[in-house]
């Protein structure tokens, strides 16, 4: 394996591991979905726009690119991605949300076919069928831990996955879009929505330390690491390591809060993760690292 590829894998592994306790900290915050959205969007937006402002070589050109079709798509994807995750976590079992998010590589394959005419293999369609079956089994679990509807969580997770996949596909075909600025603007818009819906008087309700850990450390560090990793190793490798969040995220929540997934949730999750792992390993072996 080339040295650069090994570095990319290590960086992706680091980013994925940093991301795994994210949902646990959201539970510890005790906030509702729009409260969490307000803090996560504000902090993420400020951090990434500040990094862009300090590192960009042509601020005027970057701002102009935001008004392009690709720029607006990336901003919109970030807005809905930032919105759906905390709202889903706030109103559903964590495991159901993370199972939906695990479908990012499948959405990416479908969107590449629909938007750019790239061939969709038989293995992709078989995996889509198995993943759909696994999510159906998981959301049928009656043991939802008192945290709302598993179906709602899965829908939010699927929405996040669709937004991520569309953003990835757009950025791949529009490399001039300023990534940090576009994501920063989308995050700020999402954060503004959270503050508006919640109201400033209620934004400090709950455990501020927990939401600030995820908003100021977990999100920026994991996102930067995973984004940088994609420059050194294949997207399939990064996607495979992202499955660690689907596997370890509910474990962290169970250890931290006692919210344990039921047997059907575990069975459906195993089918989803196993199918995606086999699919991504096949992609990795057929494409150079």
What confidence tens digit (pLDDT) does each residue in 188-236 have? Answer: 999 999 999 999 999 999 999 999 999 999 988 887 787 777 667 666 6
Q: Average pLDDT in the 160-187 region?
A: 84
Percent pLDDT > 70 in the chain is 86
Structure tokens at 49: 């726009």
Q: Of 115, 105, 86, give the one whose Cα is nearest residue 25.
A: 86
Q: Residues 131, 124: contact at Cβ < 8 Å?
A: no
Half-sphere exposure (Cβ direction) of 257: Cα atoms closer than 13 Å: 22
Domains of the chain: which residue ranges? 13-286
Q: In this predicted structure, what is the pLDDT of residue 289?
A: 47
């Amino acid at each position: 394996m080339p040295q650069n590829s090994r570095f990319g894998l290590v960086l992706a592994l680091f980013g994925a591991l940093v991301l795994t306790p994210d949902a646990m900290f959201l539970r510890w915050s005790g906030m509702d979905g729009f409260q969490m959205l307000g803090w996560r969007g504000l902090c993420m937006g400020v951090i990434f726009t500040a990094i862009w402002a300090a590192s960009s070589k042509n601020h005027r050109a970057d701002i102009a690119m935001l008004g392009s079709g690709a720029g607006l798509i990336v901003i919109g994807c970030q807005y809905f991605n930032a919105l759906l995750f905390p709202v889903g976590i706030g109103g559903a079992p964590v495991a159901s949300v993370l199972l939906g998010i695990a479908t990012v590589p499948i959405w990416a394959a479908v969107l590449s076919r629909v938007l750019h005419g790239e061939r969709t293999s038989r293995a992709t369609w078989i995996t889509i069928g198995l993943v759909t079956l696994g999510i159906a089994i998981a959301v049928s679990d009656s043991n939802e831990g008192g945290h709302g509807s598993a179906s709602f969580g899965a829908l939010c997770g699927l929405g996040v996955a669709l937004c991520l996949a569309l953003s990835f596909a757009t950025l791949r075909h529009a490399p001039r879009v300023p990534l940090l600025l576009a994501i920063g603007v989308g995050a700020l818009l999402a954060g503004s929505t959270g503050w508006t819906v919640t109201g400033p008087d209620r934004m400090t309700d709950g455990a501020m330390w927990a939401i600030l850990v995820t908003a100021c450390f977990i999100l920026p560090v994991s996102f930067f690491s995973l984004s940088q990793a994609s420059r050194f190793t294949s997207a399939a490798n990064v996607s495979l390591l992202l499955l660690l969040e689907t596997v370890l995220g509910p474990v962290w929540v169970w250890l931290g809060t006692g919210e344990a997934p039921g047997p059907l949730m575990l069975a459906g999750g195993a089918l989803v993760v196993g199918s995606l792992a086999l699919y991504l390993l096949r992609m990795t072996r057929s494409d150079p690292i």
